[in-house]
Amino acid sequence: MKKIIETLSKSNGLLIQHLNYNELDVLFAHYDEKNDFFLFLFDGFVELHQKLKTDIDNHNLEYAINNMVYNMLQTDELRIYQDRYIGHNISIVLVLSGVNEDNEIGLFKIEENVYTSKKYVLHYDESNLIELKGRLNAEEASEVSISLNRLVKNHSDLLKESNDKSGWYELLLRLFIKIPFLNYINTDTNSLELITMENTLMIALTSDQKELVNEINKIDVKNIAAIETHILQKHKN
């Protein structure tokens, strides 16, 4: 999984740096100029609890993650980005194996806790990851993001299924949900030039700007006032 995320980061214009914080395997990804910063923490679910000395049954991992991000922001590697407001523009993605259904309640709590950073939990089963890698290798696209998008489109029939055979596809969709800079794009052959332009434009946006674009895309508007009204109404709700 680390290799996939490293490749995705580079293809989306991010610089990557490997950090070793208290025996944790962390990948730091950021843009050269745009103020969006990402931490990816790779570990097994049980192993992470052991390293952070947290109790699985008490679902207190969220607080340990808060402390970890706060302490990492004080390190020399990340402190140099304080003038780019890294403390207000950082997200962490927990990439975890070995998660079962009983553990998922605690994972939801982690994502709901936005103190110190935005949080995402990308959990996966090893067998599903192996199958996804095999299908990625079978694709011959120039970029891994294009391969991922093609797999989503070409196997969309699996959305109707929920069994062992569709596990790799659920993981594929989870990548798009949990990795903030990974976007679904149209992979039709006759629109590849538009895809390249769309990617270029989206890379230039911050996470908040992307959310605004997504909101605008959901509505049929003909003027700025209609957009304003829609956004204000959404915030009231």
pLDDT, tens digit (0-9, with 9 covering 90-100), for 46-69: 999 999 998 887 678 999 999 999
pLDDT above 70 (res 153): yes
Model pLDDT, residue 36: 96
pLDDT band at 221 (very low <50, low <70, confident <90, very high): very low
pLDDT above 50 (res 194): no
Answer for the pair 109, 62: CB distance below 8 angstroms, yes or no.
yes
**What gap in Å lies between CA 189 and CA 141, rounded to an integer?**
12
pTM of the complete model: 0.77
Model pLDDT, residue 208: 64
Answer for the pair 89, 76: CB distance below 8 angstroms, yes or no.
no
Better pLDDT: 232 or 172: 172
pLDDT above 50 (res 196): no
DSSP letter, residue 187? -
Mean pLDDT of 183-210: 55
| Sheet order of strands, 90-97 included | 15-21, 24-30, 37-44, 90-97, 118-124
